[in-house]
Amino acid sequence: MIKVIKKRFVCLLTTGIIAMALTGCNDGDEKYDKGVKAFEAQNYESAVIYFSEAIEENPEVADYYIYHGMALIKTGNMEEAVLEFDKAILDTDNQIVRRNNKKAYRGKGIAYFEMADYEESVECFNKALEINELNDINKDINYYKSNAQEALKDYEGAVETCDKLLENDKSDASVFFRRAKCLAGLGKFDEAVKDYDKAIELDNTNYDYYFGKYDSLIEDGKEEEANEVIKKALTIKGSKKDNAFSLAKLYYLTGDFESAKPLFETAYEDDNMQAAYYLGVMYRKDKKNKEAAKYLKEYIDSETVLRSALPYSELILCDIYLKNFDEAKEMIEKAYKLKDADNMQVIEYNEVVLYEKMLDFDTAYEKCKTYMEKYPDDKAMAKELKFLATRISEK
């Protein structure tokens, strides 16, 4: 049974928002202190070792498990981290336990978030927020929670969480930005644009805010206003090399691919994998499918958690035209697993194309019929269905 050693709460480690406490004299103190110093120095592998050794020397200190869990998150060991946080959570009601439980639930929420288990993540954050202790970390918890809610497409919930954040601090541009994205997800484009404008007012050098506003205006059918946003973003002063990706994307959106491509290449050379995605798209449009597939595979492999099916869609098209049909099938299966409702139509469309290119007209016809039941307004696919029916009848 873990005993709770009463300690005085001192500060938050800004790198991980870890609550650091002064320890009394016990066998694990030295290792624990070394672990904290290693964590602060971002030497997370050493921190894991030190906290593990502290636990071995004294397995009855709840704090050790919490800090060990945070270090495990930093080294990518999420499942182990969850186990450590569970060891720190006790069913006892006193202030020290409540504080430790809150930190542990927060840690679990982060670990689940990194594993893309957003439902568990939100549940843990809610449990942490229910504990009326250490209220100075509520902002951080709510920030994570809103991110998880957005990933779940629980836009209403995310907006409510952002509202709570903004009640106490209306100077955080990133919160206005997140609320704007969620309002756009709800189709409330006018409100979204107002929040993007507020985010830009607070930080007019963040390209993401301009991209968000652009996307909302495009979705709302206001292309002319959207193009003005891009023009304004192009006036941001700064290093061309440091902002290579953002500038490349701006040129890409204006259709100036000639200016965009070298900047994407510069960003790619600096290990920006988002640039790899855009290079892949541009090469595919130029019908250089082999080069496009290389970049798209790199992008997909680099993403720990891929939420959008669009990269798979692009790669599927490359594989189809390269006649890598088995690989295309594999990408389609992976895309379906994402359950990305916003982009599922294009995946289903590509699946019809795949089976047609494979000359498997029976399967293509069945897939096409299913597609038309879901998307009856697609005139191009309606013509394809008639064509496939003809091919089947010839058999």
Q: How confident is the model over 61-112, as pLDDT tens digits? A: 999 999 999 999 999 999 999 999 999 999 999 999 999 999 999 999 999 9
CB count, 10 Å around CB of 5?
17
* Residue 259 counted as domain residue: no
Domain range for residue 90?
A: 1-151
* Residue 289 counted as domain residue: no
CATH number of the domain that 348 lies in? 1.25.40.10
Q: Of 151, 170, 195, at which residue does a domain stop?
A: 151
Same domain, yes or no: 143 and 195: no
Q: Which residues contact 280 (CB under 8 A, 6 or more apart)?
A: 292, 293, 294, 295, 296, 299, 311, 314, 315, 318
Give pLDDT, residue 69.
Answer: 97
* Residue 4 counted as domain residue: yes
Give pLDDT, residue 242.
Answer: 82
Same domain, yes or no: 131 and 173: no
Give pLDDT, residue 303.
Answer: 76
> Within 13 Å and on the Cβ side, how many CA atoms surround 390?
6
Same domain, yes or no: 179 and 138: no
User: pLDDT category, 392, cuts 50, 70, 90?
Assistant: confident
Report the percent of the chain where pLDDT is more than 90: 86
pLDDT at residue 192 is higher than 50: yes
Helices 310-321 and 325-338, interaxial angle, to 10°? 170
Q: Of 192, 216, 233, at which residue does a domain stop?
A: 233
User: pLDDT category, 193, cuts 50, 70, 90?
Assistant: very high
Same domain, yes or no: 159 and 128: no
Same domain, yes or no: 220 and 159: yes
* Residue 292 counted as domain residue: no
Same domain, yes or no: 354 and 338: yes
* Residue 276 counted as domain residue: no
Q: Of 233, 259, 288, at which residue does a domain stop?
A: 233
Lowest mean pLDDT among 167-171, 342-346, 391-395: 391-395
Same domain, yes or no: 105 and 22: yes
Same domain, yes or no: 58 and 195: no
* Residue 37 counted as domain residue: yes
Residue of higher predicted confidence among 194 and 19 = 194
Same domain, yes or no: 12 and 145: yes
Give pLDDT, residue 239.
Answer: 78
* Residue 266 counted as domain residue: no
Residue 219 sits at the vertex; the CA angle it makes with 272 and 267, to the nearest 5 degrees, is 10
* Residue 197 counted as domain residue: yes
Same domain, yes or no: 373 and 344: yes
Same domain, yes or no: 56 and 185: no
* Total count of domains within the chain: 3
User: pLDDT category, 305, cuts 50, 70, 90?
Assistant: low
pLDDT at residue 6 is higher than 60: no
Same domain, yes or no: 31 and 141: yes
